[in-house]
Amino acid sequence: MTRLPTPGSDAGAWGQILNDYLSTTHKQDGTLKDNVVGSAQLQDNAVTNVVIADDSVTESNLSPEVVDKLNTAGVSSVATLTGDITSPDLVDTLETDLKLNYAPVAGSNLTASGTNSWAEGGSTTASGNYSHAEGYDTTASGDRSHAEGLLTAASGFMSHAEGESTIASNSRAHAEGLFTTASGPNSHAEGNSTTASGFASHAEGTSTTASEFASHAEGHNTVANGGYSHAEGYQTTASSTGSHAEGYGTVASGGGSSHAEGYQTTASGSHSHTEGYGTRALVHASHAEGDSTTAGYAYTHAEGYSTTAFRLAESARGSGGTVQHAFIPASSGAASQSAPSHIAATGVITVPIHAGLTSGKVSVFTEDGAIRWDITFSANNNAATYATRDTGTVSILASVGTTATTYGTSAITWTVTGNSTGQVIITPSAAPPARRVWCELFQFGSLTQTKPA
């Protein structure tokens, strides 16, 4: 092993020992041998000495080629920053950049391109500002919209679509469930295959439609297409403003607040009302209830079974196939098929009757109620059906004209005849004073009546 000479010893060997020691690391010309400088020397797996001191090699000691390689290796671009790199500016910049332009790493095919938007799941797109899309193949394209679930789309401002294949396409619309669509502003569709297309409309259940302002459809296959209308139950339709249809197969189509309830009833007159089974209220403020009844003129009321009220303000009850009982006030004016009437100048009273047999009582009152005349009759209208009653000829089977207290200098008597347009004509012997007329009729079910369409 080479060593330095030891003072006081090594007599005669100093030169050889020193040459051996120096030749370990030096050449004959005094320069260092190749590969003799290292970072450390190990002995028994422990560092015995460090040859190069820490921080002693600087960039100025290296060749230009080495400096270039060190400065460029592994770097694709260098951003230029201003300010102190340790200040919050760098952190804020990076945080904002991540929020605006990058979706979470958990998922695939994500796009969050709107300001402060967020997309998560698979194949979701949040393109509206502050929008949120989650789930699979959902799209939130409206500002502040939210789409979640499967194949949902929220394209309206602040809209919300959730579930499967739902669409919220207008501002503040909300669609949830399966195949629902909320396309009206502030509308709400829920359930299965429902559509809310009116402003602030609401459709729920299955296959329901609410298409007008503030309309509401619920149940199955119901339609509320009138403003403020409401359809509920099964296959009901509320098609006029403020109308309400409920039950099974009912229709409320009369303009203004019509109401149909029960089974396959129709309220087609304004402010009309039907209830029961197969009933119809066809004209303004009419009402039909029971089974297969028809209120066919204004202010009429039909109840019972298969009864028909076709005269103005008539109330009909009973069974149209057996006996129908009707009460009708008469009005002043010319004869017509819509109402009993009396002519002020002559006092003649005209009463339209059904086809078939009729028994009637007509009461005449003076305005002060002091005098009353009662005229009774039975008649037959030979028209074939209800629908052709005004083409039949009426024959009088029996009649009684009642005399009364003398008015002025003579008593008034009444004559009853029939005409060829389905009417009973009651003629006074003299014109009574100011009066009111009331009719009570019994229709006998001698014909199978055909009700009005």
Asked if the model's pLDDT at residue 17 lies above 90, the reply is no
* Mean of per-residue pLDDT scores for the chain: 87
The whole-angstrom separation of Cα 28 and Cα 271 is 126
Phi and psi (nearest 5°) for 237? -135, 125
pLDDT at 88: 58
- Given a contact cutoff of 8 angstroms between Cβ atoms, the answer to whether 191 and 209 are in contact is no
Rg from Cα positions in the chain: 51
Residue 42 CB burial class (10 angstroms; 0-12, 13-18, ≥19): exposed
Question: What six digits make up the tokens of 343?
Answer: 């002519």
| pTM score above 0.85 | no
Least confident of 333-342, 378-387, 439-448: 439-448
Phi and psi (nearest 5°) for 89? -55, -45
Query: pLDDT tens digit string along 347-373?
Result: 999 999 999 999 999 999 988 888 889
Query: pLDDT tens digit string along 63-118?
Result: 787 777 767 655 455 455 555 555 555 556 555 555 544 444 445 689 999 999 99
Chain-centroid distance of CA 226 in Å reads 13
What secondary structure does DSSP assign to 261-278, as a single string? -SBS-EE-STT-EE-SBS
- E strand intervals along 23-81: 41-43, 46-49
pLDDT at 75: 46
pLDDT at 106: 45
Chain-centroid distance of CA 144 in Å reads 21
pLDDT at 295: 97
How does DSSP classify residue 373?
Answer: E
Angstrom distances, CA of residue 342 to CA of 222, 292, 297, 319, 346: 46, 31, 19, 29, 8
The whole-angstrom separation of Cα 386 and Cα 36 is 129
The whole-angstrom separation of Cα 33 and Cα 30 is 9
**Average pLDDT of the segment spanning 211-227:** 98
Asked if the model's pLDDT at residue 406 lies above 80, the reply is no
Asked if the model's pLDDT at residue 223 lies above 70, the reply is yes
Least confident of 30-34, 261-265, 281-285: 30-34
More confident residue, 452 or 326: 326
State how beta strands 435-444 and 188-189 pair.
unpaired
Least confident of 104-108, 235-239, 240-244, 397-401: 104-108
Question: What six digits make up the tokens of 289?
Answer: 């209830």
**Average pLDDT of the segment spanning 113-124:** 96
How many Cβ atoms from other residues are within 10 Å of residue 184's Cβ?
A: 29
More confident residue, 93 or 35: 35
Question: Per DSSP, what are the bridge partners of residue 215?
Answer: none
**Average pLDDT of the segment spanning 196-209:** 98
pLDDT at 233: 98
